[in-house]
Each structure stands twice: as structure tokens, then as C-alpha cells.
Amino acid sequence: MVPVERYDVVVAGGGSAGLTGARAAARLGARVLLAEVNEPGGDCLWTGCVPSKALLHAAARGEDFGAAMAQVRRAVAAIAPHDSARALEAQGVAVVRGRARFTGPRTLEIEGGEEGIRRVRFRYALIATGSAPSLPPVPGLAGAGPLTSDTVWEPAEPPERLVVLGGGPIGCELGQAFARLGARVTVAEMADRLLPREEPAAGELLRERLEGEGVTVLTGFRAERVTAGEVHGAGGRVLPFGRLLVTTGRTANTSGLGLAAAGVAVTGRDGEVRVDSRLRTANRRIYAAGDVTGRSAFTHTAGAQAAAAVTHALLGLRRGPDLTAAPWVTFTDPEVARVGMSAAQAREKYGERARVRVLSHERVDRAVADGRTDGFATLVIGPGGRIVGATVVAPRAGETIAHLATAVRLRWTAGEYAKTVHPYPTYADGPWQAALEEVYASLASPGTRRATIALLALRRALHR
């Protein structure tokens, strides 16, 4: 009979959410066990953020394919020790290699570790099992041996005639990187533009940039079937390919987790773990964070959710993460960075009370000096003049968006944002100038103008 071990917190999955959740629980003094089926690190480290950013960096430097792949391996190897079982154990987290499966509302089993099956009883559990690439139900697609973001890191040479199906963040980042590394790339997107969740101008600008680099971009392309070496789209469009890379979305990892035994509900549509605003599942002792919830698609938001979930479970503190002000970045060249609402979302929510300021980077001296005036900054302003969203498209836009995230979180007005003097010449000057324009526009309103003219006249009389 296998003895039952007892822990305050058991974490299933050692990716961005699980690592942060386990460390946070250990820091609070809890007995924590982390179960991970592979090496800890998750998608971000092994097949996601880290390799894709390393690949983009190597591609931007004009390295050859072999050198770029070596850079990918170096980056992963340099970061892996920080997420390793050994590092976690040193931080007070017990780690077991194996697959976790709930056997009841307060128990789970971990199978596959060196010690065979482990039986565990928990006070709280955190489901952090992430997501996996999903293939759309296109006849012939699975049989064509498509690459995904899980497997694209294997080729020794640039894939010849690469068709990337899906022009979201993964498709655009990898499509640009592989094109710069010498592959002939087509990106085929179902929507009418690339990055359809972002400001329309961002997708259009990226399209121009990619086409300028020799990538073929097809929008409004819905794949209907795949035959030997060809993707057939609606309207008779045919795309020949050497390799296919499918980047059309991801599915939550919930199968085989024993969720029914644990009383954890999943959403009907996509099978994600259903959570409330405190990240609690239908079983109040079990929380979930990260991609598996469908409410987070980024490493930083996964970590924020996991830390909030563990704090709530162990200390009862109601500190849900405020993801309305969590920024995100697509690391193409130029980068597309966003926080909060798009212009369209704000107009839908606030109607006439929404205002949008767009500043072309032709007016940002740093962009002029760099010869990179193709970008722009958008400030989305809601009721009371508050900044409710922003987009920056530029080199290193991800750095610029961080300050705007503070503005959105603290509900600053454009005037308050403009009070922080920004360094010159930087790309951060773009949103700052956009905020200043908003301030100048309010100064030009008839009421304010009358008041300043009256004050001027008074001061003239006093100081002749």
C-alpha cells in the first residue's frame, strides 16, 4: 500500500504559472509539492518565449540557420538552471517528476516518477498544466506532418517553402524569423489582417514590413483541405508548401487530469478550467492559473494569476490580479505592444466619450534618427480623460509599454501621464507626445482659452 503524503499545496505543472505558484507558497512558509511531467520550465522556457525570442534575435543579426539554432539552445540552457528541480528544492519546493491526476476532491496521484506512484492529500491544489498547439479540423492537415511551436525547433536547415497557417503572434514571430534565416515563407491568415486582436494599423504595418522582407502574406485565407504539398483555401486558392507550420491557436491541457473526480468544472466551449475572479475552480480547494484557464495567454499573466491564487488559498487575502492593465507584446520587428483597450473596444464601451490619439513616429526624433519612422503610438482615452488603453508599434515597443501599463492601472489621465518628463530621444517620446497633444487640446477648449486670456490680461496690467 502506497503511503499518502500530505502537503499544504500541490501544484500540477511546472511552467510559468506552476513555478511562480510553488515558489510563492514556499515563500509563505507552506509545505509545497510540484508535480511536472517533464523538466520544469514549461512552454515558455522549452518551446515558447525563450527559444522564439532567441531565434528572432539571431535572425535580426543576420546569423545563418545553424548559428541561430545554436543561439536558441544557448539561451534555453542558460535559463533552465533557474527553473530546475534543484533550484526549486533550494527554495523550499519539493519536486516530483511525473503526471498528476486527481483521484478525489482533496487527493491526487503522481505517476511516472522514480518512486512509482505517489499518493498525495492536499489542503489546496493549483492546476497549472498549460496548453498545447491545436490543429484546426482541416481534412488532410494532420496527415501532412505539420510542424507546430512544439516541434519547429528541430530542423537542422531552414524549412524550404514554409507555409505558416495562422497570422497571430506565434505565426508572425516565427514567420518573420524563418524568413530572415533564409526560408521562403508564406503566412496565411483567416482574418482580414495579421494580428487581428490588435489595432488594425498594427497588422497592416506588419504586413507591409513582412512583404518588404520577401514574405508572402495572404489574409482572408481559410484552409479547407490539405493534399500532398498543397493547402487548398476557399475560392480555389492553392498554396504549395515544403513544410507546414500550424499556429492557429492552442487548447488547454486538461485531459487525463481527473477533473471530474475532483469536482472541477471546465468551460463547455474550449474545455478550459473554469475559474472565478479569485482563480478558484468549482472545487473551492482547487485553484487554476495560466493558459489552462483560458484567461491568460502570457507568461507574466500566468505568474500573476498563480501568485494571487496561492496567496488567496493560504492567507485568505482577496487580491485578484488586475489583468486589465497587463500589457503584452508581439516580438516581431517592429514590436507590437499593447495594454488595455483597443480604440474599437473603447468606442464600443464608451461611445462618444472615447477619444483616440495616434502619433506617427515620423514625429518621434529617435525613430527619425534610426530611420524607423514606420511605427506609431496610440493612446485610447476614456471617460474623465483617463488612459484606458495604448498601442505602440516600434523597435523595443515592449519597453515603452511598461510605463503605459502603470498609467492604465493607476487610472491616470493623459495630463497626469504627461507630467512625467520622458527622456529624449526615445521611442517613449511617442505616447508622451500623444498625451501632450491631449493636454494641449484641452487647453484650447473655449472655456480654458477664455480663462487663460483673462489671466494674461490681468498679469499684463499688474506687471507693465
Ligand X SMILES: NC(=O)c1ccc[n+]([C@@H]2O[C@H](COP(=O)([O-])OP(=O)(O)OC[C@H]3O[C@@H](n4cnc5c(N)ncnc54)[C@H](O)[C@@H]3O)[C@@H](O)[C@H]2O)c1
Ligand Y SMILES: Cc1cc2nc3c(=O)[nH]c(=O)nc-3n(C[C@H](O)[C@H](O)[C@H](O)COP(=O)(O)OP(=O)(O)OC[C@H]3O[C@@H](n4cnc5c(N)ncnc54)[C@H](O)[C@@H]3O)c2cc1C
Grid coordinates of 334: 517592429
| Residue 445 contact among ligand Y, ligand X, none, beta carbon within 5 to 8 Å by kind | none
**Identified binder of ligand Y from the candidate list 7, 8, 10, 18, rule CB under 6 A:** 18
Grid coordinates of 201: 494599423
367 part of the interface to ligand Y, by CB under 6 A: no
- Give the shortest CB-398-to-ligand Y separation in angstroms: 9
**Identified binder of ligand Y from the candidate list 32, 44, 336, 390, rule CB under 6 A:** 44
Nearer residue to ligand Y within complex by CB, 330 or 342: 330
CB 287 within 8 A of CB 313: yes
Residues in contact with ligand X by CB under 6 A are 136, 165-171, 173, 188-191, 196, 221-223, 247-250, 297-298, 328-331
Measured distance CA(25)–CA(235) in Å, rounded:
54
| Residue 16 contact among ligand X, ligand Y, none, beta carbon within 5 to 8 Å by kind | ligand Y
- Give the shortest CB-303-to-ligand Y separation in angstroms: 8
| Residue 189 contact among ligand Y, ligand X, none, beta carbon within 5 to 8 Å by kind | ligand X
- Give the shortest CB-456-to-ligand Y separation in angstroms: 51
**Identified binder of ligand Y from the candidate list 10, 24, 32, 49, rule CB under 6 A:** 49
CB 303 within 8 A of CB 315: no
Q: Report the alpha-carbon angle 205-71-253, nearest 5.
A: 75
Measured distance CA(23)–CA(88) in Å, rounded:
7
Measured distance CA(75)–CA(52) in Å, rounded:
10
12 part of the interface to ligand Y, by CB under 6 A: yes
Nearer residue to ligand Y within complex by CB, 2 or 369: 2
| Residue 37 contact among ligand X, ligand Y, none, beta carbon within 5 to 8 Å by kind | ligand Y
What's the Cα-to-Cα distance from 51 to each of 80, 152, 162, 212, rounded to whole Å?
12, 10, 19, 25
Q: Residue 119 has what DSSP assignment?
A: E
CB 186 within 8 A of CB 210: no
**Identified binder of ligand Y from the candidate list 25, 26, 32, 35, rule CB under 6 A:** 35
131 is in an annotated binding site: yes
Q: By CB under 6 A, which span of 197-205, 228-236, 259-267, 291-299 interacts with ligand Y?
A: 291-299
Nearer residue to ligand X within complex by CB, 291 or 438: 291
Nearer residue to ligand Y within complex by CB, 16 or 342: 16
127 part of the interface to ligand Y, by CB under 6 A: no
Nearer residue to ligand X within complex by CB, 49 or 388: 49
182 is in an annotated binding site: no
170 is in an annotated binding site: yes
419 is in an annotated binding site: no
Neighbours of 279 (CB within 10 A): 29
At 298, the amino acid letter reads F
Measured distance CA(92)–CA(255) in Å, rounded:
29
**Identified binder of ligand Y from the candidate list 7, 10, 42, 429, rule CB under 6 A:** 42
- Give the shortest CB-275-to-ligand Y separation in angstroms: 12
Nearest C-alpha neighbor of 187 from the set 221, 229, 136 = 221
272 is in an annotated binding site: no
387 is in an annotated binding site: no
Nearer residue to ligand Y within complex by CB, 13 or 159: 13
Nearest C-alpha neighbor of 424 from the set 364, 350, 348 = 364
DSSP codes, 363-383: G-HHHHHHT-TT-EEEEEE-G
291 is in an annotated binding site: yes
Grid coordinates of 112: 511516472
- Give the shortest CB-370-to-ligand X separation in angstroms: 22
Measured distance CA(432)–CA(425) in Å, rounded:
12
Nearer residue to ligand X within complex by CB, 134 or 283: 134
DSSP three-state, residue 201: helix
15 part of the interface to ligand Y, by CB under 6 A: yes
Nearer residue to ligand Y within complex by CB, 109 or 429: 109
Look at the chain and count its residues.
464
- Within 13 Å, how many C-alpha atoms sit on residue 439's CB side? 14
CB 155 within 8 A of CB 179: no
- Give the shortest CB-139-to-ligand Y separation in angstroms: 25
Q: Any idea of the CA torsion for 155, 157, 160, 165, to the nearest 10 degrees?
A: 40
Nearer residue to ligand Y within complex by CB, 306 or 436: 306
Which stretches of the chain bind ligand Y, using CB under 6 A?
Answer: 12-18, 35-38, 42-44, 47-49, 52-53, 99-100, 128-130, 149, 170, 253, 257, 290-292, 297-300, 302, 331
Q: Please give the annotated binding residues for FAD, written as ranges.
A: 53, 129-131, 291
